[in-house]
Structure 1
Amino acid sequence: MAEIKHIVFDIGKVLIHYDPNIPFSRLIPDDEERRLFFETVCTNDWNLEQDRGRSWEDAEALLIAEHPHHEGMIRAFRKHWHEMVSHHYEDSVILLRRLIAAGCDVTMLTNFNSDTFAQARTIFPFLNETRGVTVSGDVALIKPDKAIYDCHAADFELDPASTVFIDDSLKNVEGAKAAGWQAIHFASAEQLERDLRGLGVEF
Structure 2
Amino acid sequence: MTEIRHIVFDIGKVLVHYDPDLPFSRLIPDAAERKWFFENVCTSAWNIEQDRGRTWEEAEAEIIPLFPDQEENIRNFRRHWHEMVPHAYDDSVALMERLIESGHDVTLLTNWAADTFIEARQRFPFLEKPRGVTVSGEIKTIKPDRAIYDHHVKAFGIEPSAALFIDDSQKNVDGAKAAGWQAVLFTGVEPLEADLSRLGIRW
TM-score bracket, normalised by the shorter chain, equals: over 0.9
Other structure's SS at 1:184 match: strand
Structure 1, unaligned runs of 5 or more: none
1:191 aligns with 2:187: no
Residue pairs, 1:148-163, within 5 angstroms: 148-163=148-163
- Corresponding position: 1:117 with 2:117: yes
| CA displacement at 1:86 relative to structure 2 | 1.2
Quote the residue 1:98 is aligned against.
Answer: 98
Q: Paired residue for 1:167?
A: 167
- Following superposition, the deviation at residue 194 of structure 1 comes to 1.2
Correspondence list, 1:1-203, <5 A: 1-203=1-203
Compute the TM-score of the two structures, normalised by the length of structure 2: 0.99
**Could you tell me how far apart the structure 1 residues matched to 2:60 and 2:122 are?**
24
Cα-to-partner distance string for 1:136-170 (whole Å, 9 max, x where unaligned): 00111100011100110011000000000000000
Counterpart CA distance in 1 for 2:187 and 2:119 is 26
- Per-residue deviation at 1:197? 1.4
CA distance in 2, matches of 1:122, 1:155: 23
Determine the C-alpha separation between the residues in 2 that align with 1:190 and 1:154: 31
Which region of structure 1 is more displaced relative to structure 2, 29-38 or 184-193? 184-193
Q: Secondary structure at the match of 1:2?
A: coil
Shift of 1:47: 0.2
Percentage identity across paired residues of the two chains: 63
Query: Please, what TM-score do these two structures have when normalized by structure 1?
Result: 0.99
Deviation at 1:68, TM superposition (A): 1.1
Please give the root-mean-square deviation of Cα atoms over the aligned residues, in Å: 0.6
User: For the residues of structure 1 that align with 2:128 and 2:88, how far apart are their CA atoms?
Assistant: 14
- 1: distance between equivalents of 2:51 and 2:144? 12
Task: Give deviations 1:3-28, integer Å, cap 9, x for gaps.
Answer: 00000000000001000000000000
Question: What one-letter code is carried by the residue in structure 2 that aligns with 1:106?
Answer: V
Letter matched to residue 35 of structure 2: R
Q: Structure 2: how far apart are the matches of 1:171 and 1:101? A: 30
- SS of the equivalent of 1:66 reads coil
Moved over 6 A (4+): none
Counterpart CA distance in 2 for 1:60 and 1:129 is 34
Structure 2 Cα separation of the partners of residues 127 and 82 of structure 1: 16
Q: State which drifts further: 191-200 or 17-26.
A: 191-200
